Every structure is written in structure tokens, then in C-alpha cells.
Structure 1
Amino acid sequence: MTSGSNRVLDDFARLMTDAAGVAQGARKEVETAFRSQAERVLNSMDLVQREEFEAVRDMAIRAREENDLLLARIESLETKLGGSTPGAAANEDEHGSTNA
């Protein structure tokens, strides 16, 4: 009689193991389908990936730093030339300065 109950328990354990395997496989399929659908939705929203965003942000930071350096260089050159540039004089004439 004990071998009969052991056999039933063994069959039950095997059944539970198989059910757990099926459940795990189903879970993986659902996760894959969900990720695929989510990726499709995100792609249709025309969003950028984080790596692309960070690359463009870094380029903008470098461009801003280069602009600041060039502005400082221009100001230095203007100071060496006496503080007046041909463009500045033309702008003053257009706006009615007392050069006339």
C-alpha cells in the first residue's frame, strides 16, 4: 500500500514539475510578446534612444563651450583694436548716432 501512495505522490510531483515548466514557458512567451508590442508602440511615437540623446547633448555642450571660447577671443581682439569694429560703427550710423 505504501508503494501505491508513493507512486501517486511521484506522479503528482511529476505533474507539478511539468505544469511549472509549461507556466514558465508561457510566461516567457507573454514577456516576449509584451516587449515586442511595447517596442512597436515606442517606435511609432518617434522617441529617441537614450544613447542618441546623450550623444547629441554632449555635442551641444561642446558647441556651447567652443562658442564661449570664440566669444572671448573676439572680445579680446576687439579690445586690442581699440574697442570699435567696422560692424559696430555701421550699426551706430544706421541708428542715428551723432557722426553726421
Structure 2
Amino acid sequence: MRNGSNRILDELAKLATDAADVAQGIRREAGTAFRVQAEKIANKLDLVSREEFETFKEMVLKVHADNADLKKRLDDLEKEQTRKK
């Protein structure tokens, strides 16, 4: 009887190990499928990369600073014109 119970326990352990392996495979496959779907959605949304965003942000800040400088120059010129009249 001892050999029979050991054999049954061995088979149950093997089944449990196989089930765990299958569960891990399913988890990996689901993770891969999720990543693929997320990438497809991101591509459809036409999102920009962090690098592109940072580059554009720097450009906007520079243009903003340039505009502030030009506004100051224009204000100074207008004041000068007003004094000359």
C-alpha cells in the first residue's frame, strides 16, 4: 500500500508542478498580449516620446523668452517715439 500511496503522491506533485508551469505560461502570454495591445493603442493615438516632448518644451520656452524680449524692445521704442513728439 505504501508504494501505491507514494506513486499517487508523486503523480499529484507532478500534476501540481505541471499546472504551475501552465499558469506561468498563461501569465507570460497574457502579459505579452497586453503589451502588444497597449503599443497598438499608443500608436493609434499618435503619442509623442518623452524626448520629443522635452525638445518641443525647450523650443516653446525659448520662443516665449524671445517674445518677452521683443515686447520689451517694442515698448521701449514706443516710449522713445512718444517722447520725440
Instruction: Identify whether the pair has TM-score above 0.5, normalized to the shorter chain.
Output: yes
Question: Which residue in the other structure is 1:31 paired with?
Answer: 31
Select the structure with the greater relative contact order (CA < 8 A; seq sep ≥ 6). 1
Match of 2:81, as an amino acid?
Answer: S
Are residue 53 (structure 1) and residue 53 (structure 2) matched?
yes
Shift >4 Å, 4+ stretches: none
Partner of 1:41: 41
Letter in 2 for 1:13: A
Counterparts of 1:1-100 in structure 2, within 5 Å, are 1-72=1-72, 74-75=73-74, 78=77, 83-84=80-81
Identity of aligned residues (%): 48
Structure 2 unmatched ranges of 5 or more: none
Larger % of helix: which?
Answer: 2
Number of aligned residues: 83
Q: Structure 1: give runs of 5+ residues left out of the alignment.
A: 86-100
Which AA in structure 2 matches 1:19? A
Give the secondary structure class of the aligned counterpart of 1:47. coil
- The Cα shift of 1:77 comes to 5.4
Distance 2:66 2:35 in 1: 42
Using structure 1 for the length normalisation, give the TM-score.
0.61
